[in-house]
Structure 1
Amino acid sequence: MNCTKCGAPEVIIIKKHSGQKLCQDCFVQGIERKVLKDIRKYKLIEKGDKVLVALSGGKDSVMLLDILNSLYERGIINMVAVTIDEGIKGYREDGVKIAKNHAKSLGIEHRIVTFDEYFDLTLDKIMDGSSQRKACTYCGVFRRWILNKVALEMGATKIATGHNLDDETQAILMNYLEGNIENLAKIGPKTRSKSDKFTVKIKPLREIPEKEIGLYVVAKNLEVHFAGCPYSEESFRGEVGQILKNLSRKHPTIMYSTLRGFDKIRPVIKKEFQKEFGVGECTNCGEPAANELCRACIFLRELEK
């Protein structure tokens, strides 16, 4: 079996959705070209941007940092990395260490921030108490609040996250099943707001399957934190993700077709259902908010009670 690109005999992946058989070099180069092409296609990054990479130490964020580093080295962008320690004992410590090592090896400014520092809480403490919601709900809201705040403090013009194809199709299906059309309208390669306090978020890996991201970091011998979050098993996202993985075994193009179909109707959904979000300010913390309080402050008040 030979590589369909260069003819090399050592194939490391057969892409079921396209039929391609690729050797290590052609696979890595193809992934990098695809991500950089999507950055240009969706105008995710402009020359002179200061990009804040949300670096957890997991495979997605490590790959994202690795690919964006090519733009950083060429002087096209400035780049900083931020790692959030949610306070998950026995899990987060390894990711923080790996993230720190990667940023240091690339010479990229790196900042580690914690839930405890901003909220006087850890995710473990939240879940040990009488929490009204699942861990992923609290974690997602608090992480987004911190990233936006830190991005403003560091002068970043874009926040880049490692959301992959699996993540994006899960979000599409989750919000549809829950009837949350307003959230569905916000899904896309780039999220922006009219508020000056809201930093644009971008997803350069949005069209790359999780499996290929795992293979990329192994092929490039990148150190990553492969352990899964202990709280993710209880999440609705995890259930939806399993459904999509099961479907993909017999229908290998299902996630691509889900994303492509959604992107075709996204402009209509956005026009009809998306409310302007982030145009006001939270009366408690001053961060962007659609209502009197932002979601982070709403959750904090719930937890205080």
Structure 2
Amino acid sequence: MTENICTQCGNKHVIIHRKYNGQRLCSNCFKDSIEKQVLKTVKKEKLVTKGDKVLVGLSGGKDSVALLKILNILKEKNIIELEAVTIDEGISGYREEGVRIAKETAAQLNIKHHIVSFKDKYNFTIDRIMEEEMKEKNPQHACTYCGVFRRQIFNQVARDVKATKLATGHNLDDETQSILMNYMEGNVNNMVRIGYKTQSSDERFTQKIKPLRKIPEKEIGLYVLESGFEVHFDGCPYAHESFRMEVGDFLRETTLKHPTMMYSILNGFEKIKPAIKKDYMANKTGLPNGTCEICGEPASQKICKSCKFLEKIHEKIGE
């Protein structure tokens, strides 16, 4: 029966049926297809050029481990330099395992690895922040704080190590979630920034790239399992409360009935994005690139969002 035959090599041990394109693949052909797709995206979208120093955001989860392993192919060919950074937000019972796996993965590949913790840098953990937030009538979500501080740390480390690109493990699910979320919230400013790479007029921001952008989350999970990579599969305990998780659940349910849905959302957005961006930027009074008066980091206002949060947090926790 053709249902159990790999459409690439004829192997009878099929591990995946891609309903969105009809492919049935054995383990070797599947892993090969993932690596080729990612490297094709890197080349087509010009995400890296020879001599680039790429810093990978390495959480120890499936996406970042897969990304580091695949980009290491380019490192071994002497096309790019590669380093990794792991951020320890201080989430008890969750982050420790990811940090361990990140350290071991980087060591196995002989990749220089940096670890930055919220505790060392800011003198608090995300758990400590949320302990105080939950006392409020309308508590701020953990992702709000986490996102701001993580972005700041990524950019600072990238600048410190003189990286020319900052690679993150955003996959197809992540990107389609972002598109829908920003559309529903009417956040055009964030929407026009979604893409394979960031375009910033401020040279103090290292360009971010997303090589896994066209790979579904489930396929990345299968890729790391079939490759025998150790990864941290547990989800963040704070994520279940987020709007992103609600949108993600909706997309996963819809994709079961309509397998091409996420690709349709991504491809449709790519077609209309230039027009949206052109019209939006033409009617937007852009703020000049400024510098935060407190920390000296890039900011559009006198005080950056990170420093505003830090002041608020230290007032609450008294530290």
TM-score of Structure 1 vs Structure 2, range by shorter chain: over 0.9
How many residue pairs get matched?
305
Deviation (angstroms), 1:266: 1.1
CA contact (8 A) 2:133 2:140 kept: no
1:291 to 279, 287, 301: 301
Give the match for residue 61 of structure 1.
64
How big is the shift at 1:32?
0.4
SS of corresponding position for 1:191: coil
> Given the alignment, which residue of 157, 162, 165 partners 1:158?
165
1:277, CA displacement in angstroms? 7.2
Aligned to 1:223: 230
Return the offset for 1:133: 1.6
1:263 pairs with 2:270:
yes
> Shift of the alpha carbon at 1:279?
2.4
Residue 278 of structure 1 contacts residue 288 of structure 1 at CA under 8 Å; is this kept in 2? no
Spell out the pairing of 1:141-180 with structure 2 (5 A cutoff).
141-180=148-187
Superposed displacement of residue 282, structure 1: 1.5
Question: In the alignment, residue 279 of structure 1 is paired with which amino acid?
Answer: N
d(CA) in 2 for partners of 1:49 and 1:60? 21
Distance change >3 Å, CA 44–CA 289, structure 1 → 2: same
1:131-280 superposed matches below 5 A: 132-274=139-281, 279-280=289-290
Aligned equivalents of 2:191 and 2:266: distance in 1? 12
Equivalent of residue 301 in structure 1, options 305, 311, 314: 311
What is the identity, as a one-letter code, of the residue corresponding to 1:303?
Answer: I
* Alignment partner of 1:40 is 2:50: no
RMSD between superposed Cα atoms in Å: 1.3
Gaps of 5+ in 1: none
Relative distance call for 1:206 and 1:278 in structure 2 (3 A) is farther
Question: TM-score scaled to structure 2, two decimals?
Answer: 0.93
TM-score (norm: length of structure 1): 0.97
CA distance in 1: counterparts of 2:288 and 2:169, whole angstroms: 22
Unaligned runs of 5+ in 2: none
Quick one: which amino acid aligns to residue 236 of structure 2? C
What is the rounded CA distance, in whole Å, between the counterparts of 1:264 and 1:155 in structure 2?
A: 34
Q: Amino acid of the residue matched to residue 60 of structure 1?
A: D
- In the TM superposition, residue 294 of structure 1 has moved relative to its aligned partner by 2.0
Deviation at 1:301, TM superposition (A): 2.4
Q: Name the counterpart of 2:16.
A: 13
Residues 177 and 244, structure 2, Cα contact 8 Å, conserved in 1:
yes
SS in structure 1 opposite 2:133?
coil
Distance in 2 separating the partners of 1:140 and 1:44: 23
Q: Match of 1:293, as an amino acid? A: I
SS at the partner of 1:19? coil
